[in-house]
Structure 1
Amino acid sequence: MKLIFIITLFTLISCNKQIKKSTMEYTENEILEQLDLAFKGEPSKYYPKVRPQDIKYNFFLDLEHGYCETAGNRIHLYADEKQWAIVFEKSGYQNRATRAEIELDYIGNCIEYPVDKYPERNYITNANNIVLIDSDEYARIENKQAGNDLETFELIDENTKEIKVRNKLIPFNNNYKDYEKIGIELRDYDNPKKLIGFGDLIRYFNEINPSLISASEEEIKKYIPKNLKKLMTIDEFHYDPSTSPSKQETYKLISKILVTKNTSYWKPSLESNNNWKNWESGNL
């Protein structure tokens, strides 16, 4: 009788382990592999099948992009037993498009990849952009009272009272001293009046009212399952653009959190450095 009980108990334990293993569809290593692919710009196995002429993009968080004057950035983590997603969020001024945007980069095993369709080919990407200030609004507020073109280029008219951000008028602070107090260095050439730059404005908002230029939860979840549980948002972390994610503490901790669903593992030993003040960007 005792032998039968032991055998039954062993069988139940073994079955329980198998069930638990079968419900877990991903591992820390797989998450790190997917991060490495995005870091290298290589599409993953989760991208949809496409035609030979179609193009696939796989973006990773870039705080040093020459065409984007970075302001804010965060990392959002979502997971259940079978699905996981990492969403990199970055806000800033896009100097080639003359608009301020949020960029969301999605990495995971449940992403509904955005597809731009054209007659000759389709473009599949893991990125989505949300406009904060469009080019028309920047044209409206651009300085027009100057002696040469450079004194107008990407500088805000000192008489501007309000600026439309996400279709909502926000009071504009033209006191350059308030910008300098929080570490924003205004353009020092062809700017005798110390006017506020287009990118300076977004960085100022990030420092005094970050929610104004942050993505909403609805916007973030646009391309991942709506019922996927959010584990946490990471506002401060160590960023290293020269090392593969699989070799970095930041992403090893993130992968462990996603697999275990335990946010208490977020105990980084490296100092956070993801603030825009630590990186050169938007200089092309």
Structure 2
Amino acid sequence: MDTTFQATFTAADILAQLDDYAEKFQFPMLDNGYVYLADSRLSAYGDRERWILLIEVIGYNYRAGGHSGIENCLYFFGNCLPFEPGVQNFNFLSVTDDCEDGDTFDPEKRDTLHPKAVSMLLNGETIPVSHDPAYYSARGVELEKAPAIRIWEFLRAVIVDHREGFLALEEEIRDRIPKDLPLVLRLDEWHHNDLAGEEKPSSTETFQLIAQMLETGDPAYYQPTKAANNHWKNWPDGGTL
């Protein structure tokens, strides 16, 4: 069955909104100087009259510190949101906490895993904490000041095994957007614009293709040629201010 259509909005409308919020620094900057990037996900929702783009950015904000610094920031854009697009305080998700075994992070050494931590809570479930350098190396994380383990190093490693626990649950997303709006695309990897380098979303293939896809309702429009770059290793300036 052909489900394509001609929407009441245009791809140009979508890209104009993304550019507008990028100019306001309300669009994901994967090398945000205050946040060590750990992971990200993109979801697009749409029908003939409505569209929403959600970009989740999971990282460690060292200004908040500890569990408060581990956050999933939900960036929403669209024409049917019940709130202003961009970043809103109520769209930050915090999913980790100490468990009864003790402190996860060292209260005396800021931004460091507690040397005696053995577990922590992720969405209320207990998960193990590792201090083995081989555990981190196997997940692509090299410890800068071993044996100390920085919180962002821990986050980047543990998210490999427990990614779903850090991402927004579909019900959490649906609490913020129309429940009947179809999900049309979800990406774990894509080519993201370099906002710090003044690259606009509208000049980026990823968002051009997604905008065309939403306008036509045809997922086949999303056929990227640019290599994905949203992995944290591609944004080394994140968290370095």
* TM value normalised by structure 2: 0.86
Select which of 151, 169, 176 maps to 2:126: 169
- Using the aligned pairs only, state the percent identity: 29
Give yes or no for the alignment of 1:229 onto 2:182.
Answer: yes
Compute the displacement of 1:182 (Å): 2.3
Map of 1:270-281 to 2, 5 A cutoff?
A: 270-280=226-236, 281=238
Q: Residue deviations 1:224-252, cap 9 Å, x none? A: 11111111111111122131111111111
Give yes or no for the alignment of 1:36 onto 2:19.
Answer: yes
Higher relative contact order (CA 8 A, sep 6+): 2
Give yes or no for the alignment of 1:198 onto 2:130.
Answer: no
Alpha-carbon distance in structure 2 between the residues aligned to 1:60 and 1:26: 21
Corresponding position of 1:54? none
Q: For this pair of structures, how many residues does the alignment match?
A: 227
Give yes or no for the alignment of 1:101 onto 2:66.
Answer: no
Alpha-carbon distance in structure 2 between the residues aligned to 1:71 and 1:25: 37
CA contact (8 A) 2:37 2:59 kept: yes
Map of 1:97-176 to 2, 5 A cutoff?
A: 97-98=64-65, 99=68, 100-113=70-83, 126-127=87-88, 128-134=91-97, 140-143=103-106, 152-176=109-133
Compute the displacement of 1:26 (Å): 0.3
Letter aligned with residue 103 of structure 2 = R
Alpha-carbon distance in structure 1 between the residues aligned to 2:124 and 2:63: 21
Q: Residue deviations 1:117-146, cap 9 Å, x none? A: xxxxxxx96431010225999x922236xx
CA contact (8 A) 1:257 1:263 kept: yes
CA contact (8 A) 1:160 1:172 kept: yes
Q: Note the residue ranges of structure 1 that are not aligned, 5 or more in a row.
A: 1-19, 42-57, 115-123
Corresponding position of 2:136? 179
Alpha-carbon distance in structure 2 between the residues aligned to 1:185 and 1:140: 23
CA contact (8 A) 1:75 1:89 kept: yes
Q: Note the residue ranges of structure 2 that are not aligned, 5 or more in a row.
A: none
Corresponding position of 2:217? 261
Letter aligned with residue 196 of structure 1 = I
Alpha-carbon distance in structure 2 between the residues aligned to 1:109 and 1:273: 27
Letter aligned with residue 118 of structure 2 = K
Alpha-carbon distance in structure 2 between the residues aligned to 1:205 and 1:62: 23
CA contact (8 A) 1:113 1:125 kept: no
Give yes or no for the alignment of 1:84 onto 2:84.
Answer: no
